Amino acid sequence: MSRLSAFATVLSLWAASMPMPNTVLAQNFAPGNVVVVRVGAGGTDALTNTGSPVFLDEYTPAGTFVSQTIIPTTAAGANKILVLSGVATTEGFITRSPNGLYLALTGYDRALGTTGSLPGTTSAAVNRSVAIIDASKNIDLTTGLTDFASGGSPRSVVTADGTRIWGAGGTNAIRFFTKGSTTSTQLMTTPTNYRVISIADDNLFCSAATSTFRLVQIGTGLPEVAGQTVVNLPGYATASGSPYQYVFVDLNAAEPGPDVLYVADDTQGILKWSKVSGNWVANGVVGTAAESYRGLAGYKNPSDNSVVLFAARRGGNGASGGGELVTLTDNTGYNANIGTPTVTLMATAATNQAFRGVAMTPESAIVPVDLLSFSASKTGRTHTIQWTTAQEFGASKFVVERSTDGRVFAAIQTVSAKGSALYNEYSIVDNNPLPGNNIYRLRMVDKDGSQRFSKLVRLQSGALRGFGVFPNPVVGNGGSLQVQHKEAGKGTTIAIYAADGRLMLQYPVPVNSTQTSLPLERLKPGSYRLLYADPAGERQSTQLNVQ
């Protein structure tokens, strides 16, 4: 063992005994890094089924060790203990929340050195504890369940937002609970034996190897009550296989939702599947059964649509442990055989240590996306909507919405955010614009669910649909108003009157125009009357509300 490794082992053993909520060798997780769950401190302490300490080891994608986070083995206030069986390869699977802010891990609330095999304990006697970890490595261990995975292994948990949590274990089926709870809700009656739970596309999924269940969706959305249905992914093999962690990505815009799936299977390797017309189709395998792949995490590279994967394999089930952290890149794309990509070794577990689950690092509280531009243009009968952004650290997706009046909008297309690049370009085509006014806006949705809107842009398609103003209400201080009208003749005007009849503003309308833009800097908040008038006697008016 090197001097550095020896020092790290001594430090980890010391820190694990201290009654601190968290001890780390670096301040925060770095975005884009990978975390592997390590069971066992190494040195002369062999792994055991009575309980071994747990660590989160952080690596860069290139395999450089960054930091070690120690999961507490001593209770502190409301925070409980979390240890794992050192020889149970079905435990220790870590997940990341869909908003990217939290990691979640489950284990046992029992002190090290206590006798008796942990998986055989009841959850009433040995509570199943849950750790929620943020990007600053704050660890919340206030959750200890009395009815989760009783008499079996607590295998995985996932949180949607740091508060709502779902758990999967070897018994008691899928459970829902909230942070700080002592009891949970069982979502279904059969099957009861599950492995790795996760959230993708706002739905709940879990792996299993029970009867004909392998990779399933639980109900619809994120269910919190009993009576849920369990359905295998359509087309996914159900008669054989042993799936653990998995990764969904979206590579094909024509297929709704995530359409490529990678699965770590300890009897086959890393499997690739693609969803074709709603049915999952096998796209090959990397690795062998002897390598025992179980942990898996990854992401889509927005620059070329390749998928970067990180996997834990060869996880030991004996006292001396074992395990490798590896990485590979699949650049074959949607519904194409994965082939034989290069698998690169990143790290190897030391003696008396074992690698288990893998996750991408959580992100800090995120900054909303910067919208640099938003525009629309017309080509023939189609409309092209374009926008550019910067600093997409917090962006989840963009929704292009369309309206005819600037008040009621409907979504016409959703585009996933590309990521954290400094400059991003987007473009969609509206192939079926509405007759007359087509008013577009961009709804920007962040990973935490918050959203903002762009300015409005307007295009006209086909015949005009009469007289109208938008937006209405309108911002008076610095805002502008668009007035749609028939083709204007010479001498046409638009006037705005106060509620008491006073003329506030009057504008000449350009000859032959069908839309006029009016600056409203001088109008105070209130109700006004807008009047369109031409020399031929045409009159159109509407109430205008200024904010």
Does the CA dihedral 502-504-508-514 come out positive or negative? negative
Does the CA dihedral 361-99-227-178 come out positive or negative? positive
Is the pLDDT reported for residue 15 higher than 80?
A: no
Residue 78, CB half-sphere, CA atoms under 13 Å: how many?
9
pLDDT at 392: 80
Greatest Cα pair distance, the chain, in angstroms, is 99
Type of residue found at 19 = P
What is the share, in percent, of the chain residues with pLDDT greater than 90?
59
Where do we find the tokens 């709804």? 443
- Spatial separation of the C-alpha atoms in residues 173 and 196, rounded to whole Å: 12
Phi, psi of 260 (to 5 degrees): -130, 140
More confident residue, 224 or 419: 224
Residue 367 — pLDDT band, cuts 50, 70, 90?
A: low
pLDDT at 5: 37
Closest CA to 365 of 446, 434, 300, 484: 446
Residue 483, CB half-sphere, CA atoms under 13 Å: how many?
29
Give the β-pairing of 175-178 and 164-169: antiparallel
What is the share, in percent, of the chain residues with pLDDT greater than 70?
91
Mean pLDDT of 263-290: 97
Q: Name all domains of the chain by residue range, CATH numbers in brackets.
A: 3-360 (2.120.10.30), 366-465 (2.60.40.10), 466-547 (2.60.40.1930)
- Spatial separation of the C-alpha atoms in residues 385 and 400, rounded to whole Å: 8
> What residues pair up with 159 in beta bridges, in sequence order?
165
User: Chain centroid to CA 381: how far?
Assistant: 36
pLDDT at 26: 43
Is the pLDDT reported for residue 143 higher than 50?
A: yes
Mean pLDDT of 234-253: 94
pLDDT at 370: 80
- Which tokens go with 522? 């001088």
Q: Is 240 helix (H, G, I), strand (E, B) or coil?
A: coil
- Which tokens go with 425? 């370009």
Mean pLDDT of 416-425: 80
Q: Is 188 helix (H, G, I), strand (E, B) or coil?
A: coil
- Spatial separation of the C-alpha atoms in residues 511 and 3, rounded to whole Å: 84
Does the CA dihedral 143-144-146-150 come out positive or negative? positive
pLDDT at 253: 84
DSSP per-residue string spanning 43-92: TT----TT-B-EEEEEE-TT--EEEEEEPPSS-BTTB---BB-TT-TT--
Type of residue found at 449 = G
Mean pLDDT lowest among 16-30, 143-157, 251-265, 326-340: 16-30
On whether the CB atoms of residues 357 and 93 are closer than 8 A, the answer is yes
Is the pLDDT reported for residue 415 higher than 60?
A: yes
Is the pLDDT reported for residue 543 higher than 90?
A: no
On whether the CB atoms of residues 425 and 479 are closer than 8 A, the answer is no
What digits encode the pLDDT tens for the residues 41-86? 989 999 999 999 999 999 999 999 999 999 999 999 999 999 999 9
User: Chain centroid to CA 120: how far?
Assistant: 34
**What does the mean pLDDT of the chain come to?**
87
pLDDT at 22: 37
Is the pLDDT reported for residue 464 higher than 50?
A: no
Does the CA dihedral 523-529-532-537 come out positive or negative? negative
Is the pLDDT reported for residue 289 higher than 60?
A: yes
More confident residue, 486 or 309: 309
Phi, psi of 79 (to 5 degrees): -80, 135
Residues 6 or more apart whose CB falls under 8 angstroms from that of 505 comprise: 495, 496, 518, 520, 522, 523
pLDDT at 407: 66
- Spatial separation of the C-alpha atoms in residues 252 and 342, rounded to whole Å: 24
What digits encode the pLDDT tens for the residues 526-535? 888 888 888 8
Element (H, E) at 6: helix 3-16
- Spatial separation of the C-alpha atoms in residues 117 and 120, rounded to whole Å: 6
Mean pLDDT of 115-126: 96
Give the β-pairing of 436-446 and 457-461: antiparallel
What digits encode the pLDDT tens for the residues 492-525? 988 888 888 888 888 888 887 777 777 776 778 8
pLDDT at 510: 83
- Spatial separation of the C-alpha atoms in residues 315 and 297, rounded to whole Å: 16
- Spatial separation of the C-alpha atoms in residues 393 and 370, rounded to whole Å: 10
- Spatial separation of the C-alpha atoms in residues 338 and 11, rounded to whole Å: 42
